[in-house]
Amino acid sequence: MFVAKRSHHNPILVPDRDHFWESTAAFNMCPVKCGSKTLGLFRAISGIDNLVEPHQMSTIGIAESTDGDHFDKRAQFITPEAEWEKFGCEDPRVTFFEGKYYIFYTALSTYPFSASGIKVAVAVSTDLKKVSERHLVTPFNAKAMTLFPKRINGKVTVIFSINTDAPPAKIAIAQADSIEEFWSPEFWEKWRLSTGINYLDPRRNEFDHVEIGAPPLETKCGWLLIYSHIQNYFPNPDHFDRAFGIEALLLDINEPHKIIGRTSGPILVPEEPYELLGFVANVIFPTGAMIEKDTLNIYYGAADTTACRASVSFPDLLASIRPETTNDWRLKRYQDNPILASNTGNVWEDKAVFNPGVLDLDGKIHILYRALSNDNTSTIGYASTVDGFTIRERLSAPAYLPREAFEMKKIANANSGCEDPRLTKIGKEIYMCYTAFDGIGPPRVAVTSISEKDFLDKKWNWKMPVLITPKDIDDKDACLFPDKVDGKYFILHRVGSDICGDYLNSLSFKTEKVDKCIRVLGPRVGTWDSAKVGIGGPPIKTPKGWLLLYHAVSKNHHTYRIGAVLLDLKDPTDVLARSTDPIFEPVEMYEKFGLVNNVVFTCGMAIKGGTLYVYYGGGDKVVGVATMKLKILLDALVRGSKLSFTGHWY
């Protein structure tokens, strides 16, 4: 699991209206170390000049920084001079190699723009104060070329995107004995005819589009390549949402055409206003990356208008890319799962048992699970475990039954009843939030409570339930926080596709209602949590923040997975960190196949001896448990929460 965090200084580079050459856009920055400073080369788009064509021109600027966030002393660095670039210079990638800086960029030679006039060029500099030479590199349509910072098996190596404007595009690798060969047409003629041409294809399907992002970074595990992966770039009959994302590949250190690891989805997608609105809306595009100590800093263009930075803990990212390198970074299933299954001897639970809420009390973990009968009535059953895994007690009768009209079945055999309990102990009272459904109206949140003593004695003297969410609104997945926040009680619930919060003055629910949706968390386009999100169990209070697990559904594949967030202790509507990738997803048969396929869904977790026990429903059919060290999960979120405040690099 890893967390990606945008710099709180974003955008770190914006258009300067006082400079005509960069008055419309300043974006797609590629940084490089130069002495004690970081220099960033970026694409600039000029203001409009109606007397020439094209009316706007792209050139390459340069700026400098001492902290990676604040860039000044901006100046034009590469402007069109030769015929092969007379209509613009775009998207620089700079690498320091064998004593010189090589800046590969896109050169435009025709207008209106066409594939035949879009090629790769290079500028060479010894000090990044002036360009000593420049050359046209590819005689064919290509973009986004970048140079590996050292020879690989004695060869100078470049990686680039070929046929980007005459798809299908490919990512290609070329190697030469000397760097000068790359601006020889004869070299490329031999390269294209060679049977040894190496291509990478990280696309997940034929509708995606990929393009090189940042220059490769050498790591002990391989070459780290940050690249652009655009989902549904081409018309897709099943999915119509185009989504720009930043992803990562790990390439073999000696054979860079071999992919040895990759992210399972985007590291970043457009979310912030400066990414959603601009010269070209809903675009983020990576062009630079640096590793400083254990932090990976990714530089990217936002909406083709500004330059931005985001950071990731590199060890966390590596563990996600290469999960086989460690067993500690994800939830681990109990080997004898499922721990609870339907019981044909009890009519009320003969179809399925799933989505358990839990409480750790009196030396036991008490499990209240959703039980489903064959007529699709949901009730709540009870079981307990001492060691966290082995069920020592399971009652033959429900611990909770539908009692009010709002949860009684209105249509024969339709779903109805009491669903997905979440338990919170406040003082000597145990509160249970659950989803109440009568089979007709939209589901709503109901709350009941029981004394701790009666609960432990299994005397199910639950108070009569009360609906606390608004009428005619689909509102579910709710829990109360165990402690007051700023003198008030706090509740999480879900409206539509978002996790919301609300403050309550008291726990007198006959008068106290949930009437606000303070948005805490929502879906992210193009990701594993792109369709909707909802809470897991009640959060755990830690010195670093409220640890909350949440479930999410992917838009394209309708798979339920589990992620993690860290909420501020004083303001739980403030998300300090959110897992970029899921910490748990359907793998086993009992998770992939059930009443609903491809589901892991938790309503409760507990801590025993520093280990987090997560109880979950698999396939809406059975109950399982998975564990991981709390410190590992919490530390990863805490690292993520601090990434936007990394400050100086040196």
pLDDT single digits (tens) 237-252: 666 678 999 999 999 9
Strand ranges (DSSP E) for 263-400? 284-292, 295-302, 306-313, 332-333, 352-361, 364-372, 377-385, 391-394
Residue 327: the pLDDT is 55
Residue 235: the pLDDT is 77
Q: Indicate the pLDDT class of residue 643, thresholds 50, 70 and 90.
A: confident
C-alpha 595/C-alpha 259 separation (Å) is: 37
- The tokens for 614 are 């997560």
Average pLDDT of span 602-621: 97
C-alpha 172/C-alpha 199 separation (Å) is: 4
Judged against a pLDDT cut of 90, whether residue 384 lies above it is answered with yes
C-alpha 316/C-alpha 637 separation (Å) is: 10
pTM of the model: 0.92
Q: CB-based contacts of 326: which residues, under 8 Å, 6+ apart?
A: 319
Tell me 189's DSSP state: H
Residue keyed to tokens 């000068």: 180
The 284-292 sheet, strands edge to edge: 4-6, 306-313, 295-302, 284-292
Q: Indicate the pLDDT class of residue 113, thresholds 50, 70 and 90.
A: very high
Residue 193: the pLDDT is 87
Q: What is the pLDDT of residues 314-346, one digit of tens each?
A: 999 998 998 666 656 679 999 999 999 999 999
